A = this chain, B = another copy of it.
Amino acid sequence: MNSMAENFRVTPYEVEGKVDYEKFAKEFGISIIDKKLEERIERLAGGTHYLLRRHIIYSHRDLNWLLDEYEKGNRFYLYTGIAPSGSMHIGHLIPFIFTQWLQEKFGAEVLIQIPDEEKALIRNVSFEEVHKLAHDDALNIIALGFDPKKTKIFFNTDYAGTLYRHAVRAAKRITFSMVKDAFGFTNETNIGSIFYTSMQAVPAFLKSVEEKKNVPCLIPLAIDQDVHFRIARDVLVKMGYYKPAIIHAKFLPGLSGKPKMSAHDPNDAIYLNDSPEVVEKKVLRAITGQQATAELQKKLGGNPEKCSVCQYYRYLFEPDDKKLEKIFEGERNGTLLAGEHKEDLAKRINKFLEEHRRKREALRGKLDVFMLKDYRAGQD
């Protein structure tokens, strides 16, 4: 099992307990992004990003190697993705926001996989449902500002004419034992789920196949996806390709205090399609780090680390560090009361969502320039 120390567990299909990110990194041989590496990224990028400064993008594999190659003129491409399962929520955006920034700063091509079979294999949802969601997921991602000239997106079932021939090559080197331990599978797991990780491995070497030479690849992802590449990185080396470098994002906590916003708990997550009223209602019910009463809060102050409202500013809605510190300070010293605190956040979220949906709808019907497709795609 991809289980960890006694208190928490992280797999692509289950996140339980309070995630100890340092412990997670240590257990799986992941390196924390230290000040020196942070500064190296910023220097090469010619700019900073709040997700990096705030250690939300917090750890990596082989990022120094990737930057060495970059400095030698060996350009990398970015590969990321999302498996449709329910409507996308704001937490899903974090790795994509950072990917888009990397694309802009490093001029990198981006390959986005939408595995529209994965969750239908793993969970009790139909392939039809998932396939419908896939299109909107693609729009939601592209709306973050990806460059149409440098971004290619694909649905696994539509692109299998390319993916499968390479997936079997990776699959030949992956045993059931390996995925059983890594994903917590049993003998009763279906054979599609068992095979799936090899489909997720392909885009990490697809450019090398196409260009007939090794091309460095950087994969930004949320840490629950690291397990796929713990397997794939070793396999790719045996196949003669570079190990892809990886950078990991922490999870946006749920409004109810869960360690990872759940796409399946409507009270815990803010979906990209939530109406202003729904957002307001959800935020007003959120867990804060404040005292039980306004009086106590004024007197004792609260804890921004335990306050989901503060954390939402930190993760997504206040990129300005000084303004963020002011919000945290208000929470700590009791001058910022829960009601006002929440109302402000709801407004910020609604402003963001409105803008995001506007951009998304402007792209509707124009997705084709971004799509990689096999010929028969969508015929049935």
User: Interface of A with B (CB < 8 Å)?
Assistant: 117, 120-121, 127, 156-165, 167-169, 171-177, 179-180, 185-195, 197-198, 209-210, 373-377, 379-380
Residues of B within 8 A of A127 (CB): 165, 168-169
Within 8 Å by CB of A157, from B157, B168, B185, B195, lies B168
Distance from A361 Cβ to chain B, minimum over Cβ atoms (Å): 28
Q: In the complex, what distance in Å separates the CA atom of A180 from the CA atom of B186?
A: 12
Contact: B158 with A173, CB < 8 Å?
no
Chain B residues contacting A190 (CB-CB under 8 Å) are 171-176
Cα–Cα distance between A361 and B364 once the two chains are bound (Å): 52
A175 partner residues in chain B, CB cutoff 8 A: 187-191
Per the bound structure, the CA–CA distance linking A189 and B177 in Å amounts to: 8
- Which residues from B are CB-within-8-Å of A117? 164-165, 168
A195 partner, pick from B192, B373, B380, beta carbons under 8 A: B192
**Is B176 in contact with A194, judged by CB distance below 8 angstroms?**
yes
Q: Separation in Å of the A131 CB from the closest CB of chain B?
A: 9
Contact between B176 and A192 (Cβ–Cβ < 8 Å)?
no
Across the interface, A192 reaches (CB within 8 A) one of B158, B168, B177, namely: B168
- In whole angstroms, how far apart are the Cα atoms of A379 and B209 in the complex? 11
A/B interface sample: 23 pairs, CB < 8 A: A117-B164, A117-B165, A120-B172, A121-B168, A121-B171, A157-B168, A158-B161, A158-B165, A159-B161, A160-B160, A160-B161, A161-B375, A163-B164, A171-B191, A171-B193, A174-B190, A175-B190, A176-B176, A177-B187, A179-B191, A191-B197, A195-B195, A374-B375
A235 to chain B, nearest CB (A): 10
Q: Are A377 and B161 in contact (CB under 8 A)?
A: yes
Residue of B nearest to A185 (CB): B176
Q: Nearest-CB distance from A35 to chain B (Å)? A: 40
CA distance A375 to B373 in the complex (A): 9
Q: Which residues of B contact A165 (CB under 8 A)?
A: 117, 127, 157-158, 160, 380
What 6 A-B pairs come out closest when comparing CB atoms? A375-B375, A161-B161, A171-B192, A160-B164, A195-B195, A161-B374
Contacts A157-B168, A191-B176 known; A162 to B376 CB distance under 8 Å? yes
* Most-contacted residue by chain B among A163, A172, A188 (CB, 10 A): A172
Instruction: A49 to B319: give the CA distance in the assembly, Å.
Output: 79
CB distance from A197 to the nearest CB of B (A): 7
A172/B376 in contact, CB under 8 A: no
- Smallest CB-CB separation from A180: which chain B residue? B187
User: Nearest Cβ distance between residue A116 and chain B, in whole angstroms?
Assistant: 9
Shortest beta-carbon distance from A210 to chain B in Å: 7
Beta-carbon contact of B187 and A191 below 8 Å: no
Q: How far is the CA of A180 from the CA of B190 in the complex (A)?
A: 12
Shortest Cβ distance from A375 into B: residue? B375
Chain B residues in 8 Å Cβ range of A192: 167-168, 171-172, 174, 195, 198
| Listed residue (A162, A180, A192) with the most chain B CB atoms within 10 angstroms of its CB | A192
